[in-house]
Amino acid sequence: MASRLIYMLKSLHFLVAITFTLLANHLFADRAETQDGSIFYGKIIEAKDGNLTFATTYSGLIQIPLKYLKTLSSSENVLVRDENNQTFIGQSVPVPSGQLNLVNQQNDLSPSLAFTKIQHLWLDKSKDPIVEQKERNELEKQMQWENSIGFDLVGSAGNTDSTGLGLRLDSVYSNNLHELDLFLSYNTQTTNGKTDTDETKGGAEFDSLFSDRFAWYLRSDFEHDPIEKINLRNTSAIGIKYDLIEEENYQLSSRLGTAYRYVKSTEKSITDQSDPAFDLGLEYSHILYQRLALESEVSLIPKANDLADYLFNHDTAITFPLLVENEWKLRSGLSGTYNSSPQDNLEKMDMKYYLRVIYEFQ
């Protein structure tokens, strides 16, 4: 009789504890307690890869290793998948401690589960992580367009009167394995009534990954610049790209390939030039602060039979958003071309500073 009474009292205490916990969870917030006694209040987001993602009002998202959890309380139903792919649903309650305990609407307690045995945990209103990952993988395989249009407008008055206009179009068609880049740009500038810049450039590049860090590429670009007496300058190349550094906010890649250079002058007295060449390049991208980015691209294209005859191109700029939606950007940079063997009476260096307003769209 006494043992039955003790059992009834324990059961009553357990039910009272569960009822109080469920009521407290509705009134307050989700609660996580670690084995060292630290207590966090906020919102359960998910658990995967051995970590619980927990949102707090005072420090944002935090990661708590599941092996350090002592208790976990939820204010709403969660779904849990164990290491055997069994799935349970209910509100998480902190009794007994040291493991995950779920109670359903009928106050039935699901089998207790050690926190380290959790494969996935997600909110009832959220999507199953396995389904979400499959959808993400399928989305990454789809080729998508990303486009941008940029405008440059510069001018000065006084001792020197000058006006300049620039236009650039970029389109990228890509997924996580392949990428096609297209661009077209035009720049013109008039100083004291004389046109000293009249440049049209365009090009295309296709990259395809064949390992984690290696990709092959095929690229071709052209330039028309009557001021520099260039009717057409074309460079086509094929080669290998290698990702030297690939981190979330920092990327550095290199390329090495063979190329073909062709130059046709506006002067009929100058014969066309066509030569095999090498294609060397570096691409650098670094997110400095939030969405403030530093981007740089340099290329060196020497003739195969005369390495002293080369073209050096570079473009380095800082880009930052003008709006929270990140559709409008401002790009400030320095770009130019160094030709080691220019035509007569022309400078080797052609340098341009620019401030460009960019609109991105799909």
The number of CA neighbours under 13 Å toward the Cβ of 234 is 12
List every span in the chain annotated with CATH 2.40.230.20.
142-361
3-state DSSP helix/strand/coil % of the chain, to nearest 5: 15, 60, 25
Mean pLDDT of 167-188: 93
Give the pLDDT of residue 70: 92
What global pTM score does this model have? 0.65
Give the pLDDT of residue 30: 92
What confidence tier does 297 reach under pLDDT thresholds 50, 70, 90? very high
Q: Please answer whether residues 237 and 279 qualify as being in contact, where contact means their C-beta atoms are separated by less than 8 angstroms.
A: yes
What confidence tier does 313 reach under pLDDT thresholds 50, 70, 90? very high
DSSP state letter for 35:
T
Give the pLDDT of residue 15: 46
Give the pLDDT of residue 327: 85
**Residue 266, Cβ neighbours under 10 Å: how many?**
15
Q: What is the mean pLDDT of the chain?
A: 85
What confidence tier does 194 reach under pLDDT thresholds 50, 70, 90? confident
**Residue 207, Cβ neighbours under 10 Å: how many?**
18
Q: Lowest mean pLDDT of 10-19, 130-139, 164-173, 190-199, name the range.
A: 10-19
Under the phi-then-psi rule, with left for phi > 0, alpha for psi from -120 to 50, and beta for the rest, what region is 62?
Answer: beta
Mean pLDDT of 328-351: 84
Mean pLDDT of 322-326: 73
DSSP state letter for 272:
P
CATH class, range 142-361 = mainly beta
Mean pLDDT of 253-266: 94
Q: With pLDDT > 90 as the criterion, what percentage of the chain qualifies?
A: 47
Dihedral through CA 167, CA 341, CA 218, CA 186, nearest 10? 10
